[in-house]
Amino acid sequence: MPKGQETIGGKTRVERALEKSEIRFRQVVEAAPNAIVMIGVSGRIEMINVQAERVFGHSRAEMLGQPVEMLIPERFRAHHPGHRSAFFEAPQSRPMGVGRELFALKKDGSEFPVEIGLSPIETDEGLMVLSVVVDITDRRQKFVQTSYLAAIVESSSDAIIGKNLDGIVTSWNPAAEALFGHASREAVGRHISFLIPPDRLAEADMILDRIRRGERVENFETMRRNKDGCEIPVSLTVSPILGPGGTILGASKIARDVTERQRAADTLRLSEERFRSIFGAVGEGIFITDAEGRFIEVNGPGAEMFGYSTDRMIGLDIQSISSGMPPYTQAEAIEWQRKAAISGRPQIFEWHCKARSGRLFWVEISLRQASIGGGAVGLAIVRDISERRTIEAQLRQAQKMEAVGLLTGGIAHDFNNLLAIIHGNLELIRDASADTPEVHEMTEDALRAAARGASLTHQLLAYARQQPLAPKVVLLEQLVSQVAQLIRRSLGETIEIRTVIPKDLWATRIDPNQLENALVNLAVNARDAMPDGGKLTIEGANKEFDADYAESNPGVVPGCYVQLAVSDSGPGIPPEIIDRVFEPFFTTKPLGKGSGLGLSMVFGFVKQSGGHIKIYSEAGRGTTFNLYLPRASEQLDDCVAADDSGAVRGREMEVILVVEDDELVRKFTVRVLRGLGYRIIEAGDGHEALRLLNEAGRVDLLLTDVALPKGMSGPAIAAEARKRRRELKVLYMSGYAKDAIVNNGVLEEGVQLLTKPFPKTELARKIRDMLDEGGAA
Amino acid sequence: MSTGRLLIVDDEADFGAFVRRVAQKLDFEVEVTTTAAGFKESYSRFKPTIVVLDIVMPDVDGIELIRWLAAAHCAARVVIISGFDPYYAMAAEKFGDIGGLTSIQRLTKPVSLADLESALTARGPGKA
């Protein structure tokens, strides 16, 4: 013990101080948060702390005095003594294994990454090295994680921007550079508002407010500005960045460029709009059907054609709009759809349809297979061809009459030549047989038969429009009254005959003898239709037919005509034969009762004279034959359709309810009235008319057919309508001449009536006159 | 001496024969032909005082014959017999008038014996 050293309890002060220092050192080592292992020059473990026991899993006893290599994984052990020697040669505090990753070995054989700090310590047992071992497993994991995140942020195609709660940009990834054009160094440190268009600046505060409240802003679609000042549509997602303890440090903002998406959406919307507007604007009906023939899409005109709204039409199938008469069935429709699919070409066919109201009509369908969203659908373009078919049928009938006429004419000529020979020679025989009464008598019989044959050929030639005519300018008043006298005598008491010829009736150019013949023929026909008596009316009127009318009535030439209407009150002609009554040899009379040529002659005569003829007939209401004879050209100067269309046009808001079951007439009428500027409501029967009348706001005039289906006549509609609207004006239309219909008690005296067919000008003027009169007509 | 010389053209030979019978009873010299060529040949040789022709024949245009007669300054009376088609007959009549044929009469088939007889024997500018 050195001199002068105080001892306390057998120890010097120095000794005690050393001891104290030793204890404090040990205490420090033990309390250190890291594992500490002290190794001597020999490489044996001289001292460890509690943390070392915990980290390596060995107990103190297991480690003390053992070579330190026990704590080093096998693969590093060989190099270790060399490193250790190097340290002891130049002992100084430094981290171990700079630039290398260090691993330590636990008792259980597992390795863990470590950082080791080395410090030389001079002890009484010589130089030792104090190793402070830090388990960096967690830190390494966090590092890897952070590196991943950083890489993700760097490589993201979305702009990712960090900002603090003041809105200052703290980070800026390459995608942000690409999107906004600002480099990271330009952006970081600036307030986020440099990206925001001036009119949207408030958004910045709004977003930051929400972030401060810990809320997330998701897929917020807005506009941002790039370095060039251009605005870019973006979708923003902004999330708060939480610090330790949940404090909000700032926000991470992901900005996605939605230019492409928006462009695609715009294109889609435009394309959809374009499709919708074309779909709706096409005049034809367009139907898209699924494989079972159900409608999955229909345009307005298509639905209207069948009397449905487009909504109600969708989901219906072909069956529900077909007449159902074979072959117009669902199965057949599917078959067409199949053909369209197989051939790849449009299939065009006619179809018999049923509207919602039960009305049957014809359409032409062009059906092809199309693909929508990868699925096969039927695409049908549907056109209402009722009008066309009716006109075609009329044209066919006219052509047939023409052809039969030519044929008849040819045959009649041949017969006539033969009859000339027969008749002439019979006369010679008759003269030569004066001495032989028997031969004489037989010859007389044969001559009578030949005369009848000649009369028949005459009728045939009349029908074939090849009879000799001697047309003259004729005033009908006198002619008709003469004929009336004649037929009064021959038709008998049971038939009441009435003639109405207006004073201002135009003169006609016609063969008067043949006209008399024609009237007698019609009268005989009327008598046969009324075996128990009835009324026969002959009525004259001036008529003018325009090009519109001629277009829908094949064979009619526009111009001025004198109408002679011959009406009976018989049972009427059934619709199925009405077109055929003018055909030669067509007769409904018992065999031998009529030649079947009477009406044919009338037809041929009127045609040959440059006129035309129309029949109107309805069951139970009799028949009217309308003869239109050409107005005598000698006075044609007066017959110029005055162009007073301005004066007869409809005024704004004037509404007319048109009730007519004949579709052709209704369409014509509605087209004319719309053309004149009226607003039109149309109905096919009385019930529909009254329903529409209830729904309608304003109705100024009811234009109705007299005879209508479903048990409700024009006058019945008018009576019912007047109960609801006392001021409503009523104009009747009828195929019958006015007097005939008033005579038959269908209409009251004094009503307003248009006789069908009527030209545009007459309709326009009549309606204007009625609307301009005060009070109910 | 005969009443006159009658030339008949009609594609119906039997009708021609009928007219011949009637005319012969009235003491006409008669020739009948069914063709245009025969008619022209006969006309030049036979020099008829009266011509009866059918205006509607399948292979001969009666109107052509009328014009031919007019061009030949035919002095014979002409009787046109036609079927019911009046326009041909009327047109033929017109052509005849314009061409200077002075006497044209029109008959319609079937012709009554009385009408035919009176047409054949009618007095006219043609040489009897």
Over residues A306-314, the mean pLDDT reads 87
Shortest Cα distance from A457 to chain B (angstroms)?
9
Average of per-residue pLDDT values in chain A: 84
Q: Give residue A351's Cα distance to chain centre.
A: 20
How would you label A489-506 residue by residue, b for 16+ Cβ within 10 Å and e otherwise? eebeeebebebbbeeebb
Backbone angles phi, psi at A579, to 5 degrees: -70, -15
| pLDDT exceeds cutoff 90 at B22 | yes
By the CB < 8 Å criterion, does A420 face chain B?
yes
Residue ranges of A 510-569 with Cβ closer than 8 A to chain B: none
Written as one string, the DSSP assignment of A637-703 is GG------HHHHPPPTT-EEEEE-S-HHHHHHHHHHHHHTT-EEEEESSHHHHHHHHHH-S---EEE
Q: Supply the DSSP symbol for A188.
A: T
What pLDDT was estimated at residue A636?
A: 42
CB A73 within 8 A of CB A105: yes
| pLDDT exceeds cutoff 50 at A310 | yes
What pLDDT was estimated at residue A625?
A: 93
Interchain CB distance below 8 Å, A467 and B113: no
Q: Does the model's ipTM exceed the 0.90 cut?
A: no
For testing contact with chain B, the best of A408, A411, A415, A421 (most B CBs within 10 A): A421
Shortest Cα distance from B106 to chain A (angstroms)?
13
Interchain CB distance below 8 Å, A419 and B86: no
What pLDDT was estimated at residue A304?
A: 86
CB count within 10 Å of CB A133 equals: 23
Cis before A327? omega within 30: yes
By the CB < 8 Å criterion, does B85 face chain A?
yes
Over residues A87-94, the mean pLDDT reads 85
- Lookup: tokens for A55: 């980290």
Shortest Cα distance from A587 to chain B (angstroms)?
25
B60: confidence class by pLDDT, cuts 50, 70, 90? low
pLDDT digits (tens, 9 = 90+) for A541-593: 998 888 888 877 777 888 889 999 999 998 888 888 887 888 877 777 665 55
Q: Is A711 helix (H, G, I), strand (E, B) or coil?
A: coil
pLDDT digits (tens, 9 = 90+) for A459-488: 887 777 777 677 888 888 888 988 888 888
CA distance A666 to A705: 9
Q: Supply the DSSP symbol for A509.
A: E
pLDDT digits (tens, 9 = 90+) for A183-224: 988 899 999 888 899 888 888 888 888 888 888 888 888 889
What pLDDT was estimated at residue A256?
A: 86
Nearest C-alpha in A relative to B54: A417
CB A564 within 8 A of CB A480: yes
All residues of chain A having their beta carbon less than 8 Å from the beta carbon of residue B116 are 424
Shortest Cα distance from B50 to chain A (angstroms)?
19
Nearest C-alpha in B relative to A453: B110
A659: confidence class by pLDDT, cuts 50, 70, 90? very high
What pLDDT was estimated at residue A566?
A: 93
CA distance A124 to A180: 69
CA distance A131 to A52: 10
- A·B CB contacts under 8 A: 62
CA distance A686 to A356: 16
Shortest Cα distance from A395 to chain B (angstroms)?
26
A461: nearest CB among B12, B18, B84:
B84
Lowest-pLDDT choice from A136-150, A287-301, A639-653:
A639-653
All residues of chain A having their beta carbon less than 8 Å from the beta carbon of residue B109 are 416-417, 419-420
All residues of chain A having their beta carbon less than 8 Å from the beta carbon of residue B115 are none
| pLDDT exceeds cutoff 80 at A743 | no
Shortest Cα distance from A762 to chain B (angstroms)?
38
Lowest-pLDDT choice from A245-254, A426-435, A486-495:
A486-495
| pLDDT exceeds cutoff 50 at A70 | yes
H and E: helices and strands count for chain A: 26, 30
Interchain CB distance below 8 Å, A431 and B111: no
CB count within 10 Å of CB A64 equals: 14
Question: Residue A626: which H helix or E strand, with range?
Answer: strand A622-630
Q: What percentage of chain A reaches a pLDDT higher than 70?
A: 93
Pairing of strands A11-12, A248-257: unpaired
| pLDDT exceeds cutoff 80 at A314 | yes
All residues of chain A having their beta carbon less than 8 Å from the beta carbon of residue B18 are 420-421, 424-425, 428
By the CB < 8 Å criterion, does B84 face chain A?
yes
User: Which residue from A712, A665, A676 is spatially nearest to A693, judged by alpha carbons?
Assistant: A712
pLDDT digits (tens, 9 = 90+) for A436-463: 989 998 899 899 888 888 888 888 877 7
Over residues B50-70, the mean pLDDT reads 79
A466: nearest CB among B21, B85, B111:
B85
CB A494 within 8 A of CB A533: yes
B110 vs B42, more confident: B42
CA distance B80 to B70: 14
Shortest Cα distance from A526 to chain B (angstroms)?
29
pLDDT digits (tens, 9 = 90+) for A745-769: 666 666 788 877 777 777 888 888 8
Interchain CB distance below 8 Å, B110 and A469: no
By the CB < 8 Å criterion, does A30 face chain B?
no
By the CB < 8 Å criterion, does A609 face chain B?
no
Residue ranges of B 34-73 with Cβ closer than 8 A to chain A: 56
All residues of chain B having their beta carbon less than 8 Å from the beta carbon of residue A457 are 84
What pLDDT was estimated at residue A461?
A: 79
- Lookup: tokens for A504: 């201002």
B8 vs A273, more confident: B8
Interchain CB distance below 8 Å, A421 and B83: no
For residue A465, how many C-alpha atoms fall within 13 Å in the half-sphere facing its CB?
15
Interchain CB distance below 8 Å, A420 and B12: yes
Q: Give residue A612's Cα distance to chain centre.
A: 44
By the CB < 8 Å criterion, does B14 face chain A?
yes
A58 vs A647, more confident: A58
What pLDDT was estimated at residue B46?
A: 93
CA distance A160 to B110: 113
All residues of chain B having their beta carbon less than 8 Å from the beta carbon of residue A417 are 12, 15, 83, 109
Q: What percentage of chain A reaches a pLDDT higher than 90?
A: 8
All residues of chain B having their beta carbon less than 8 Å from the beta carbon of residue A427 are 112-113
What pLDDT was estimated at residue B99?
A: 64
Over residues A520-549, the mean pLDDT reads 87
pLDDT digits (tens, 9 = 90+) for A690-708: 888 888 888 889 999 888 8
